[in-house]
Amino acid sequence: MKIALVTLSSEGARVARRIVEGFPEAQVYLHASVEGALPGERFESILSLTEEIFSRFQGLVFIAPCGVAVRAVAPFLKGKTVDPAVVVVDVCGRFAISLLSGHEGGANDLAFRVANLIDAEPIVTTTTEAAKVLVIGVGCRRGTAAQRIVAAIKAVLSEADLAIDKVRLLASADIKANEPGLLEAARELGLPLRFISSAEIRKSARTFQCSALAQRKVNLPAVAEPAALLAGRRTRLVVPKQNHHGVTIAVAREDCSW
C-alpha cells in the first residue's frame, strides 16, 4: 500500500517518525510551520495538499484532529470502492482511527498496522467488525509455522464451541511482531493482528495465569492470556490458555451489552 503521512505539528512529526520506521517508503508531508529535521515535503494548505494527493496514494494517515481530516477529504470523496484508506492518529499517538474506506479500502487493516508501530489503540467502527466479540491471544515459539498456529486456533474454538466468524482479532506480545508464522496465520484467517507492548503486559493488573516458560524465554509473565485480555475492551477470559503442539491459545470475550 502506497502511504502518505500528513501532519500539521511538531508533535505529529514525532509520531510520523515512528510510523515511518514501519513504512520506510511512505511519503511524509509536513506543514510549513513544523520544526525539526524529519525529511518530508512542506505544504501551506492542508486542503490544497489533500486535493493533490488524494488519488495518488492508497492510504492517507493524518496525524491531526479528526475534524481537520474530515474537512480535508470531504470535497474529494467519490465512493468506498475508489477512495483511499484514511486513518487519523492523534498527536500523542494514543489512537489510530479507521476513518474512511475501512473494509473495502483497507483502512481497518492500516489502522491496526499503524497502531502496532506506535503502541496505540486501533479504533474500528465498521459494524461487521465491531459486532464481533472474541479476541484470541496467541503465544508461540520462534519459527512456528502458520499452519500449526491456524490449526491450534481452530482446535481451541471447536473445543469451546465458538465460531470463528465471531473473532474480532488475534493478539500477541510485541516481541512477536516480526514472527512470520503468526503474521501469515492472521492473513490466512483474514483477521487483524494486534501486538500488546511487553511493558503493558508486565504492569497489567488483570488476572491471568503466569508462565514460568514465558518468564524464562521472553521475560514476560505470560503471553496468550494477557494479550487476549488487553487487546479488547471490557474483556473476560472464556477459554484459559490451551497448549496445542507448542502453540498457546487463550480466548477473551468483550462485553458489548448495555
Of 100, 155, 149, 148, whose CA–CA distance to 123 is shortest? 100
If asked whether residues 195 and 81 sit together in one domain, one would say no
Determine the pLDDT at residue 253. Answer: 96
Model confidence at 248, in pLDDT bands (50, 70, 90)? very high
78 lies in the same domain as 192: no
Residues 186 and 111 in one domain: no
* pLDDT-based confidence at residue 135 (cuts at 50, 70, 90): very high
C-alpha distances (whole Å) from 15 to each of 58, 95, 173 are 20, 11, 21
> Which residue segment(s) compose the domain that 20 sits in?
3-127
Q: Are 165 and 210 members of one domain?
A: yes
Beta bridge partners of 97: 88, 123
Return the pLDDT at 87: 98
Q: Which residues in 183-255 belong to E strands, given as ranges?
A: 193-196, 235-244, 247-254
CA dist., res. 246 & res. 258, Å (int): 38
pLDDT confidence band for 174 (50 / 70 / 90): very high
Among 127, 151, 171, the domain-final residue is 127
Gap between the Cα atoms of 238 and 64, Å rounded: 38
Last residue of a domain, one of 127, 149, 165: 127
Q: What is the CATH number of the domain that holds 116?
A: 3.40.50.11220
DSSP-based helix, strand, coil % in the chain, nearest 5: 40, 25, 35
Residues 6+ apart with CB under 8 A from 116: 22, 174, 177, 193, 194, 195
What does the alpha-carbon distance between residue 42 and residue 30 come to, in Å, rounded to a whole number?
5
**Same domain, residue pair 60 and 149:** no
Which pLDDT score, from 0 to 100, does residue 26 have? 95
**Whether 62 contacts 88, CB under 8 Å:** yes
Type of residue numbered 140: C
Q: Identify the CA nearest to 252 among candidates 208, 201, 211.
A: 208
Let me know whether 157 and 197 are in one domain.
yes
Q: 142 and 108 in one domain?
A: no
The mean pLDDT of 54-75, rounded to a whole number, is 96
Confidence of residue 6 (pLDDT cuts 50, 70, 90): very high
Q: What is the mean pLDDT of the chain?
A: 93
96 and 140 fall within a common domain: no
DSSP run (H or E) holding 68 = helix 66-73
C-alpha cell at 88: 487519523
10 and 96 in a single domain? The answer is yes
Tens digit of each residue's pLDDT (9 = 90 or more) over 35-44: 877 889 999 9
In this structure, the answer to whether residues 97 and 138 fall within a common structural domain is no
- My answer on whether 121 and 156 are in the same domain is no
Q: What is the rounded average pLDDT of the residues 168-191?
A: 96
Share of the chain above pLDDT 70, in %: 99
111 and 164 in a single domain? The answer is: no
Tally of residues, the chain: 258
> Are 197 and 223 in contact, with CB atoms under 8 Å apart?
no
Q: Which residue has the cell 496465520?
A: 185
Q: Which residue has the higher pLDDT, 213 or 148?
A: 148
End residue of a domain, out of 127, 151, 170: 127
User: 237, 225, 226, 116: which is closest to 177 by C-alpha?
Assistant: 116
How many domains are there within the chain? 2
Cell of 55: 488519488
Is the model's pLDDT at 243 over the cut of 80?
yes
d(CA 12, CA 201): 26
CATH of the domain at 179: 3.30.420.180
The rounded distance, in Å, linking the Cα atoms of 136 and 192 is 11
Q: Residue 102: its pLDDT value, please?
A: 80
